[in-house]
A and B are shown apart, each in its own frame.
Chain A
Amino acid sequence: MEAYDSAKATLGGRLRDNDMLAWAASGLEISGKTVRSWEAAAEYFAASPEVQRQLPSGQFIRWSAVGSRLCADSPSLAVAFFKASPGSLMRLRPRYIEDWANLGRSLYRGTWKSSTLACRYYEVTPELLEQLNFVEFTRFSEFLEALSLRSYDLASQCLNDGVDLFQNLGAERESFIAVARVLADKSWRDVRGYFTASAEALPRVDAVQRGRLLTLIRKLVQLGHGNAGEGVIAGAASLSSVPADRQSRFLELSEQLLSTAPEAVPELLRQMPAIMGRVSFNQFEEWQAEGVTAVRENLDAGLSYFRLESARSQEVLDTLASGIELTRIRDLLRTYCRALVGQSIELSPTSQIVEKNIGWVEGDLPTTEGTTIYLPAVVDRFSSKESNFSWYKVVATHQVGHIEFGSFGFDFARPSTVFEDLRPHIPVPERTRAPADPGVPGVPGAPGAVLDELPAEMQEAAKERGIEGQWLTDMGRFFDAFPDRALSHDIFTVVEDSRLDARLLHEYRGIAAAYHTVQEHSLAERPAIDELPMREAMIEFIVRLSLRQRSGLKVPRDYKKVARQIAHLVDSVATHEAIVEDSAEATLRIYGLLADVPNEEIPPDEFDDIDLDDEDEEDSAPPEDAEQYLKALQGAGDSRADGTGEMPEDETEEQGEEDYESPEDVSYRGDFKPELAQLLSQMQMSAGMMDGEPGEPLTEEQLAEMLERSTEVEGEPQEGEEGDQQAQIPEELIQNLLKELARRDPQDPQSSQGPFVHVDEDGGPLEATDERSFVYDEWDFRGGEYKPRWCLVHEKDMAEGDTTFVQETLHSHASLVRDIHRQFERMVPETFRKIKRLEDGEDHDLDAVIEHFVERRSGIQPTEKLYWQRNKVERDVAVAFLLDMSASTAEAIDETGRSDDDWGAPDDPVEYMVWLRSRRAEGLRRSYKRIVDIEKEGIVLLSNALEMLGDRFGIYGFSGYGRENVEFYIIKEMDEPYTESVPRKIDRIAPLHATRMGPAIRHTTAKLRELDAKSKVLFMITDGRPQDRGYSREGVEKEYAVHDTKQALVEARRDGIVPFCLTVDKAGHDYMKTMMEDMSYEVLHDIKLLPTRLPQLYQKLTQ
């Protein structure tokens, strides 16, 4: 009653008396409705003052009446209603009060849950109304009601979610609710997912497009295609992959597609980001148009088109896309690189060398470590395919140039061709590690006393050996000569790259145009010189110089002369005659010239333009002042010895000097690490030369020391210890590198395993276990190499059955048998028969000669055909039939119109065993035919005819499980006579396990190879794509198996065997196109044609 009193006090002044009475009366009425309605009455009185302020008195009474009615249903409902009223009425037109109350009321169905829902509904109404107009609100309420029919919990959740969700939405709320409404009827379980997805994805979509997207999704849901939540997420992802100004066009296209083939729309939405990753939007439109045609022609084909699963779809994308994927051109480029160098160069995506974690970290820069060329996986730098391919080619050429023109063959002692060598004058620096050889004392530059006693030559040799022993590589020795290793490394890589470019352009003039384009492109990516500190600016100057920029270059004004001298040095190395040692000599000199340049920031106006082609300028030849250059090297080697890791800059250290930073890598030259690469490629070469005598193995310490000195490997910055510049070389990296080195050592037995570890199938090469097992390599198309001794083929003799099958087949196909006989008769060659009456031949044909003379005597024009010749068309054919005995050949053929279920195996294991036993017992009484039966029929008919033809033939079947169990059944060997046992063996051909085609083909090839026949044919009959456990790599099962099979067939062809594949798999064209490429195959659309078609094909093949 407190509420009543306070309300009365407030209302007293505002209401007319009779209204006041009515108010109090309705309060009483409410409180009197049920036992618990006094609560409602209290709320009523509490809310009244607020409500009354907002409502005209007439409405106010109606509000009371509405509340009162609610209370009659449920007091708690009324409580919630009255509680929410003040907030709601602020946003609700008074005339809607009743509707609002009814909407809530309709949620209530007398249960506890529905009451909670309805209460909650009133409770959040003020918040909802803040976001929604009343129409939307009504729709939402209707949706809730519809949903509540299915699940109150879900409806409550949606109600709560809705409150949060609507805050983030704009005008599309109506569409959103519309989708929800449809969902509530069509598939109410998806509602929750839809809400979650929308909350997550919709804000990412441009507000303008949201409504349209939602409408699209609503139509999809209405048509029963796709899941709304997924649709929203996919749609949002699709839209954000499309440029903003094209989004509405994209939706338009999707809407069009919706009218043609609604099923395809979810696929399109799902694939769109992937598509946009490959092509531009305009190109996408073309692709889409093609897809619409595809859908119209055939719905299934069209769907797989939009799923990006059909070959046509991929082809269209490929043609449209300007970007090039490495996988597509890898074989091409690898062969190209091999042609250039004449070595077994491998080609891999850059990610692989990064994964190896042996020092290379840049994932997208091309590089090489001396045997493999690493290229980015995708290139989409230019707008056309041709340009992107050119880029690949230029990069590959440059990288392979490192190998072809000896970047890694640097020899410290080899004289250069352009310069007077300074290297012999480099003082031998003191090293932290005392040399083990007592002949070389640790004193730099001064040979020890022991050496002095030896004859001069030996001294020299010992010294040399001792010195060399200190470094793992000559490259490392060279870089150690510099106090600032990073600087020398940067100079050397740029100069060496520049030398290579010059050499390559000289050797390969055809690539010049593409090369220059790439260089210009790289040049455009370079940072501006005048924004860099001076020393870095000078290095950048060299980089630009090496990219053939000759004018418009800027250099610090004070060092213009130095720049000119440097340019002179770079130019003298950038010739086709220079060798890697010239680059080293140039590095020494440039280093000397740059040693005086402080790395200070200077304002851009202190930079001057320099035009290198201007001949009038002063003489630019650098001074041949060995003293000066060598002086710059002082202090080398001890920089790390003191343990600071910081390069002490001696006297040149000045205020305001920046830390020197290496220049950005030039994108096409990539990440050039001469020292590491030399180490890696040296190992390969030296190990090969050592002839079994193992060299001293590299210790972990040696390697760690080298890496620590080297600036090529970035240590991991120590977290938490900021400011500590010395980075630790991660132990893991050293271990990886050691492994990599060991792998390259051909004496290491592990090396034969190859770098690619099979993911699905671990383990190494296999060994033949008995006389009748054989090992074969397997082709790994990803690595582009064979996995040695990978598969074990077991030869087995087929058991003998009875001859009923063969007899029945011959009997039931009697007319076909006659036809085949007749066909083949025509093929029978007149072997070893003399062909008479030829104009020229081995010898005279006596009959013809007599005739000749008779004719001449009688004055007739005599015949000139007097010779005979042995028939040259000797038919000498050997054919091996290879039958697929995989489990799938057990599939029944729909011959009698039965459905598959009639023979289907029971699911229950026990029943299955029973079923299986009965099926076995059934034996020949089997009422249906399986694929394998048709295969057998074909073979029976053909072999029957072949006997007559006299061709040699073998019949083999294959199956197996796993690489160590490829079963190879011998039904008839090539030279085995066609005896009674052959039909018996044919009878026993039955479906077994999997289909690992590669090894079976290789084994057959080996059999054919031993034969001496003019034409050899490998005739494979199969019912599907190759597959087997672990016949895969990295989950690309299908591809791997198909490629291995293809490789096996290519091998066969290389041995002069004609491979032919006949498949009864109607979908066979997909993979057959890849597998057989330019070899012939046939896809049989109706398996029942096999017995007829087989002899025809045979005839065609062997004629």
Chain B
Amino acid sequence: MTQANSGFTQYKVEEYYIQDEPFYIPQSDEIDIFTAAYNEQIPILLKGPTGTGKTRFVEYMAWRLSSGVNGARPKHGSANGIPLVTVACHEDLTASDLVGRYLIDADGTRWIDGPLTRAVKAGGICYLDEIVEARKDTTVIIHSLTDHRRMLTIDKLGEVIEAADGFLMVISYNPGYQSATKDLKHSTRQRFIALEFSFPTPEIEREIIIHESGCDEQTAIQLAKLGEKVRNLGDFGLSEGASTRVLIYAGRLINEGVAPRRAAQVAVTWGITDDVQLQRSIDEVATSIFP
């Protein structure tokens, strides 16, 4: 059921297919691995710092597997393709948010499936972004879906759903970013194969920036250089390097006529750290790179 209104399009969660090819440049063989894992129904864990393209990669794979490019037609999946259900996890996300709940209506109560249930039924990819942020009770439902059982138990309904063949759980997490207490449990992480994401090389990053921000090549080269230099500081006080995303933001601002140094400052420097000393140093790097 798709509703097209003026200005926006509304989909049901389980009917959201990636229609157009998302822009994605592979860093290595992750596409092949993902394809193989999908065919073998092996859940996937994506690791890596923020802004290294994890979400984009899942989108790309959902599209790629659906459209069957390069003969990579997956074994599973409906004729329409593979729906992508993305849930951004946060600290108040409970199991019922994923599975579903009763709503009250005129005649009493009505059960509504949560996004995970819908993905299980529709045979889509369920992408749980930043999984460690979610409340602990979510792990229970994840476990039964990520081993040989591939089942979802809905205790409120007293039902068990066997996942459709096309269903695959993909989760992401950022090892450096969470506190030690929010680490992924071993019983959970060992149900997944892991793909590591890191920042792209300057050449690839340049391409990405050009494509995503539409800025000129020179600017993109400089932005990629800035990203590289800032990430060099990873060992020297900066907890997280500049993501490709902020570089793209900077590129877009530059496109809009913002002076490059200023764009770098608002998009990169001030965004990634509150440490005044570091900010100054990064500003100096930016002023060295941008005329």
Contacts and interface: CB of A to CB of B under 8 A. Distances in A.
Contacts of B236: 335, 338, 344
Chain B: interface residue count, which band?
35 or more
A1012 to B, nearest CB: 4
Interface in B100-159: 101-102, 104, 109
B259 to A, nearest CB: 11
Contacts of B91: 872
B92 interface: yes
A573 interface: no
Interface string A506-523: 011111110000000000
B222 interface: yes
B284 A393 contact: yes
Given A508-B288, A1012-B181, A332 B281 contact: yes
Contact of B280 (A332, A509, A1054): A332
A843 B101 contact: yes
A1056 B232 contact: no
B276 A512 contact: no
Contacts of B228: 342
Contacts of A1077: 276
B284 A341 contact: no
A876 to B, nearest CB: 10
Given A339-B230, A341-B232, A342-B232, A508 B281 contact: no
A331 B222 CA distance: 24
Interface in B27-64: none
Nearest to B237: A335
A393 B261 CA distance: 17
Given A344-B235, A842-B94, A335 B261 contact: no
Interface in B204-259: 222, 225, 228-230, 232-233, 235-237, 239
Contact of B277 (A332, A344, A843, A844): A332
Interface string B278-291: 10111011111111
B289 A510 contact: yes
Nearest to B260: A510
Interface string A312-340: 00000000000000000001110110111
A1069 to B, nearest CB: 19
B96 interface: yes
Contacts of A1012: 181
Given A843-B96, A844-B104, A510 B232 contact: no
Given A339-B229, A393-B288, A507-B225, A866 B104 contact: yes
B104 A339 contact: no
B179 interface: yes
Given A338-B236, A339-B232, A340-B232, A842 B96 contact: yes
Nearest to A1054: B239
A336 B225 contact: no
Contacts of B290: 509-510
Interface in A470-521: 507-513
Interface in A848-903: 849, 852, 866, 872
Nearest to A504: B288
B287 A511 contact: yes
Contacts, number: 81
B291 A509 contact: yes
A1027 interface: no
A1086 interface: no
B276 A1078 contact: yes
Say what secondary structure dominates the interface of chain A: helix
Contacts of A333: 281, 284
A333 B282 CA distance: 10
Nearest to A1010: B180
Contacts of B104: 844, 849, 852, 866
A397 interface: yes
A512 B291 contact: yes
Given A344-B235, A507-B225, A336 B285 contact: yes
A512 to B, nearest CB: 6
Nearest to A1078: B276
Interface string A385-398: 00000000100010
Interface in B66-99: 91-92, 94, 96
Contacts of A508: 288-289
A1054 B261 CA distance: 28
B183 to A, nearest CB: 11
A393 B283 CA distance: 12
A841 to B, nearest CB: 9
Contacts of B179: 1056
Contacts of A843: 96, 101-102
Interface in A652-684: none
Interface residues of A, number: 33
Contacts of B232: 338-342
Nearest to B101: A843
B92 A397 contact: no
B288 A511 contact: yes
A866 B282 CA distance: 51
Contacts of A510: 261, 286-291
Interface string A817-844: 0000000000000000000000000111
Interface string A987-1017: 0000000000000000000000100100000
B181 A509 contact: no
Nearest to B92: A872
A332 B92 contact: no
A938 B220 CA distance: 58
Interface in A1049-1086: 1054, 1056, 1077-1078
A313 B284 CA distance: 28
Contacts of A331: 277, 281
Nearest to A849: B104
Nearest to B222: A509
B196 to A, nearest CB: 20
Nearest to B228: A342
A335 B281 contact: yes
A336 B284 contact: yes
Interface in A374-411: 393, 397
Interface in A1013-1060: 1054, 1056
A843 B277 CA distance: 48
A842 B100 CA distance: 10
A336 B286 contact: no
Contacts of B101: 843
A339 B109 CA distance: 59
A1077 B91 CA distance: 32
A341 B281 CA distance: 13
A340 B285 contact: yes
B197 to A, nearest CB: 20
A331 B282 CA distance: 12
A1054 B104 CA distance: 47
A183 to B, nearest CB: 53
Nearest to A390: B287
Contacts of B288: 336, 340, 393, 397, 508, 510-511
A856 to B, nearest CB: 8
Contacts of A507: 225, 289
A833 to B, nearest CB: 16
A1047 to B, nearest CB: 11
Contacts of B230: 339
Given A333-B281, A339-B230, A342-B229, 14 more contacts: A335-B236, A339-B282, A339-B285, A340-B288, A342-B228, A344-B235, A397-B288, A508-B288, A509-B290, A509-B291, A512-B291, A843-B101, A844-B104, A1012-B181
28 contacts: A332-B284, A333-B281, A335-B233, A335-B277, A335-B278, A335-B282, A336-B284, A338-B232, A339-B232, A339-B233, A339-B282, A342-B228, A344-B236, A393-B284, A510-B286, A510-B288, A510-B289, A512-B291, A842-B94, A843-B101, A844-B102, A849-B104, A852-B104, A866-B104, A872-B92, A1009-B180, A1054-B239, A1056-B179
Interface of A: 331-333, 335-336, 338-342, 344, 393, 397, 507-513, 842-844, 849, 852, 866, 872, 1009, 1012, 1054, 1056, 1077-1078
